[in-house]
Amino acid sequence: MSLSPLLMQRSNPYCWAIMPAMIEKITEFSEEHTASGTDACAARFQCAFGAALPEMLCIAILKDGEVGQLAGHVICGVETYLGKSACMVYQFSKESGTDEDWIATNKTIQALIDQWCQGLGLEEIMAMAETKSRGRLFRQFGYVEGPVLLRRRFQ
Which of these, 147, 117, 141, lies nearest to 57 by C-alpha position? 117
Phi and psi at residue 98, in whole multiples of 5°? -90, 170
Q: What is the pLDDT of residue 78?
A: 93
- How far is the C-alpha of 104 from the C-alpha of 122, rounded, in Å? 24
120-130: string of b/e by CB count within 10 Å (b at 16+)? eebeebebebe
Q: What is the pLDDT of residue 129?
A: 76
Which of these, 5, 6, 9, 7, lies nearest to 106 by C-alpha position? 5
Q: What is the pLDDT of residue 151?
A: 65
Name the fold adopted by 3-139: Aminopeptidase (3.40.630)
What string of pLDDT tens digits covers the 155 residues of the chain?
688 899 999 999 999 999 999 999 999 888 887 766 556 888 889 999 988 888 899 999 988 756 668 888 999 999 988 788 999 999 888 876 666 777 788 889 999 999 999 999 999 998 877 777 777 778 877 888 776 666 666 76
For residue 91, how many other CB atoms are within 10 A of its CB? 21
